Amino acid sequence: MERFTLAQAAEWTKGEARGEAALTAVTTDSRQIPPEALFLPIKGERFDAHDFIGKAIENGAAAVMSHRENEEYPVPALYVENTSQALLDLAGGYRTMCGGKVVGVTGSVGKTTTKELLYAVLSQGFRAQKTEGNLNNEIGLPLTLMRMTRDTEVLVAEMGMNHFGELSRMTAAAKPNLAVITNIGTSHIEFLGSREGICKAKLEILEGLQEGGAAVLCGDEPLLWDKRESLGCKVVTYGIENSACDLTADLHSDGTFDIVNNGLAAAHLPVGEKFTAKLSIPGKHNVLNALAAADTTLIPVQAQYLSAKGLEQLLQTVQKVRRQINPKLKIEGILLTMTDSRTNYGQQIDNLIRGAYGSKIKVFDQTIPRSVRAAEISAVGKSIFQHDPKGKVAEAYQSLTGEVMANAERQLKRVAERGR
């Protein structure tokens, strides 16, 4: 991270600096304070890290940020209205100071794979960085931006969301030069209302697009294709099924594919020409490969209507693998995740899956509840047992483990009895 001052941070966040400090790190963890670090406390649903400012100072914080304007600290402090928003504003100012280009990547699925592919290509010719792991939310994204240096030529930044407005805030900080939208699925439809709502939320990434920037859209998705001419920026489309896209791929049985330029001005691949490529990473076929190698499979299903409908397709794939590849493959059971028993909708989905499949396949009694603390683990890079060991999600997984082990013991007992 490049050096910046508390005065600069105050300018970027529109806060008030009391005292001065030169800083080379930003952390949200009071337990691990790097040298010359600004401690930035986040207020969550069930916690407020402002309560740990004293501990952060004891551990060596050079300065702190706070929204408690009436509290004074023995180190320089930056007072802001909201530390969560200030984290994004701080990252936005720092990103501008460093320069370089940012490629933002979002989509319902495929974000991480697309990020890794882009980084693999760009790092061949540029000093490139990327989002590590799944640090793609309103905490992880700004921390990723603040890993840039003035030497960074391009950062590939993954951006996730589950509510309207989240991508708006993140893209305002990232200021991407290119924004990639991989697809529009059904994840978080309970918050966004419909696939059209999900598409609207994903398109928020374009709000922060720098002047002259471009949107790169999957043209196989009708919701994106239909909006391509109304986005107010340059648009590049790609796809497999939609031959009208700027770039298309023709797949071959040997795993290779031809990339065809149908209309994109490009010096290295003139319009009408193509080149053949092959990826060394798994694609759709790897689902079959994994099932072929497995003894049993446990199927997690989000407590959403469309996820429940998609379960039937997966079960058909399992049956195909049994018939053609792995006759010993067994289904351990169906696990309902991101459940909310407080709502009628959640109870309806639970009843729907148990009623439709419970007589044929075990549906675990234990479910995994929705939790804000669980959603934070990708940002902090820890398992739920490290991040919130006494929380309801960790307890649910411990209970599930007991249920799985008990089922296995009963199955072994039945096998032993049949062998007598």
Task: For residue range 123-162, list pLDDT tens digits in order.
Answer: 989 999 999 977 899 999 999 999 999 999 999 999 999 9
What mean pLDDT is predicted for residues 227-244?
Answer: 92
Q: What is the pLDDT of residue 258?
A: 84
Instruction: Among 165-169, 173-177, 307-311, 331-335, name the one with the lowest average pLDDT.
Output: 307-311
Instruction: Among 9-23, 90-104, 297-311, name the one with the lowest average pLDDT.
Output: 297-311
Residues of the chain with CATH 3.40.1390.10: 4-81
CA 7 to chain centre: 32
Q: What is the pLDDT of residue 287?
A: 56
Q: What is the pLDDT of residue 146?
A: 97
Q: Is residue 402 predicted with pLDDT exceeding 70?
A: yes
Nearest to 160 by CA among 132, 141, 179: 141
| Maximum Cα interatomic distance, the chain, rounded to a whole number of Å | 80
Residues 232 and 213: their CA atoms lie apart, in Å, by 10
- Contact between 50 and 63 under an 8 Å Cβ cutoff? The reply is no
Q: Is residue 256 predicted with pLDDT exceeding 80?
A: no
Determine the topology of domain 99-245 in CATH.
Answer: UDP-N-acetylmuramoyl-L-alanine:D-glutamate ligase (3.40.1190)
Residue 408 binned pLDDT confidence (cut-offs 50, 70, 90): confident
What are the Cα distances from residue 11, in Å, to 8, 63, 89, 351?
5, 16, 10, 53
Instruction: Among 68-82, 143-157, 230-244, 324-338, name the one with the lowest average pLDDT.
Output: 324-338
- How confident is the model over 261-303, as pLDDT tens digits? 898 877 667 778 888 876 665 555 455 556 656 678 899 988 8
What is the DSSP annotation of 307-334? Answer: HHHHHHHHHHHHHHHHHHT-TT-EEEEE
Q: What is the pLDDT of residue 290?
A: 62
Residues 125 and 29: their CA atoms lie apart, in Å, by 35
3 state DSSP class of 44:
coil
Q: What is the pLDDT of residue 347?
A: 85
Instruction: Among 91-100, 172-181, 214-223, 241-250, name the one with the lowest average pLDDT.
Output: 241-250
Q: Is residue 164 predicted with pLDDT exceeding 60?
A: yes
In the chain, pLDDT over 70 holds for what percent of residues? 92
Q: What is the pLDDT of residue 419?
A: 67
Buried b (16+ CB within 10 A) or exposed e, 342-371: eeeebeebbeebeeebeeebbbbebbbbbb
Report which of residues 47 and 1 the model is more confident about.
Answer: 1
Q: What is the pLDDT of residue 202?
A: 97
Q: What is the pLDDT of residue 201?
A: 97
Q: What is the pLDDT of residue 281?
A: 57
Q: Is residue 305 predicted with pLDDT exceeding 80?
A: no
- For the domain spanning 4-81, the CATH number is 3.40.1390.10
Residues 273 and 71: their CA atoms lie apart, in Å, by 65
Mean pLDDT over all residues of the chain? 89
What mean pLDDT is predicted for residues 11-33?
Answer: 96
Report which of residues 30 and 240 the model is more confident about.
Answer: 30
Architecture of domain 285-418: 3-Layer(aba) Sandwich (3.40)
What mean pLDDT is predicted for residues 69-84?
Answer: 96
Q: What is the pLDDT of residue 283?
A: 55
Q: What is the pLDDT of residue 330?
A: 87
Q: What is the pLDDT of residue 254?
A: 62
Instruction: Among 40-54, 106-120, 189-203, 285-299, name the one with the lowest average pLDDT.
Output: 285-299
Residues of the chain with CATH 3.40.50.300: 285-418
- How confident is the model over 374-392, as pLDDT tens digits? 877 866 778 899 888 999 9
